[in-house]
Amino acid sequence: MIFDLHSHTTLSDGVLTPPDLISRAIEKGVDVLSITDHDTIDAYRDISLVHGHLKVVPGIELSTQWETTGIHVLGLNIDLNSDAIISAAEIQSDARLERARRIGERLEKKGVKDAFEGASQLSSGSYIGRPHFARYLINIGKSNSMNAAFKKYMGDGKAGDVKQHWAELPQIIRWIRDANGVAVLAHPLKYKLTRTRLNRLLDNFIEAGGQGMEVVSGWQTSQQTRDMAQLCAQKKLLASSGSDFHMPDKRWAELGMITPLPENVTPVWERF
Ligand code: AMP
Ligand code: MN
Ligand code: MN
Ligand code: MN
């Protein structure tokens, strides 16, 4: 069975619409898929959760800040009609808009004109994010690739990296749990934390009610998988796996093309 519990659509920063993402997941042999757009559940508006062999598990990827680091928490198997998840999406969308204004001001100081307006025009729906600013920077000739735009303007510690608008980690976890979902720390290796800090993040996450972590996230080495599985088992967390697919592009793993979870961990889907 292939469980791909992390993916994006056009309702956040992915390139496929929800029906196209589902078709591609079926093509790639995925058995259980979660669409986890950034801070929104809009992808679930017009789709069914069962497509022959493929089952869709409702999900979301919530943004927050831990210490000085921007981190992401997946809410898996959430009740899409719960007040908790509806308010979470609303509050986080407002935070995104505020943050986008602030990013615009900060880029202005770096000599980038009308970035907020430019990024807004490129975004649709409730998600406005750094990829829209990066795309705008490319369009006006300030950068020549997404990577370059992130490196110079939008990445960690750069002008466009504004974190302080999100709801706090305990609130994020409470929303997920109140929506009867499972709170899973997304892509623990992506934050580039020292082992001491990653340990502390996981301890804080567990203390706040966090229940799982992604042991397999996108392309990773077997060494990384073993390492994350060991950490997951040690912290008595549930283990999740997902491609974090955004688009067919070498930066992202393909839907379903992820290694299975090692035997020494308890899969998060045992709780669904
Ligand atoms: P935001 O949700 O607004 O903080 O934007 C973060 C998103 O930007 C991530 O979810 C990635 O999809 C995307 N991203 C981050 N770094 C890069 C990069 N170097 N190139 C392309 N996309 C990136
Ligand atoms: Mn993204
Ligand atoms: Mn993420
Ligand atoms: Mn993601």
* Residue 151 CA, closest ligand 1 atom number: 19
Give the closest ligand to the alpha carbon of residue 130: 1
Strand ordering across the sheet containing 59-66: 59-66, 69-76, 182-185, 212-217, 238-242, 266-267
d(CA 173, CA 73): 8
At residue 85, the pLDDT reads 98
Handedness of CA 112, 118, 122, 127 (dihedral sign): positive
Whether the CB of 246 sits within 6 Å of ligand 1: yes
pTM: predicted TM-score of the whole model, two decimal places: 0.98
At residue 126, the pLDDT reads 86
Query: Nearest residue CA, atom 13 of ligand 1?
Result: 131
| Per-residue pLDDT reduced to its tens digit, 102-125 | 999 999 999 999 999 999 999 988
Whether the CB of 218 sits within 6 Å of ligand 1: no
d(CA 10, CA 40): 11
Whether the CB of 99 sits within 6 Å of ligand 1: no
Whether the CB of 245 sits within 6 Å of ligand 1: no
Residue 12 CA to ligand 4 centre (angstroms):
10
At residue 124, the pLDDT reads 83
At residue 147, the pLDDT reads 96
Residues of the chain with pLDDT under 70: none
d(CA 16, CA 247): 7
At residue 173, the pLDDT reads 99
174: left (phi over 0), alpha (psi -120 to 50) or beta: alpha
d(CA 172, CA 75): 9
Whether the CB of 214 sits within 6 Å of ligand 1: no
At residue 125, the pLDDT reads 82
Q: Where do runs of H (alpha helix) occur along 140-194? A: 146-149, 169-178
| Per-residue pLDDT reduced to its tens digit, 44-100 | 998 999 999 999 999 999 999 999 999 999 999 999 999 999 999 999 999 999 999
Query: Nearest residue CA, atom 6 of ligand 1?
Result: 130
Contacts of 236 (CB under 8 A, 6+ apart): none
At residue 200, the pLDDT reads 98
At residue 117, the pLDDT reads 97
* Residue 130 CA, closest ligand 1 atom number: 3
Residue 13 CA to ligand 2 centre (angstroms):
5
Instruction: Give the residue, out of 13, 99, 126, 172, with the most ligand 1 atoms within 8 A of its beta carbon, to mutate for a pocket test.
Output: 13
* Residue 129 CA, closest ligand 1 atom number: 3
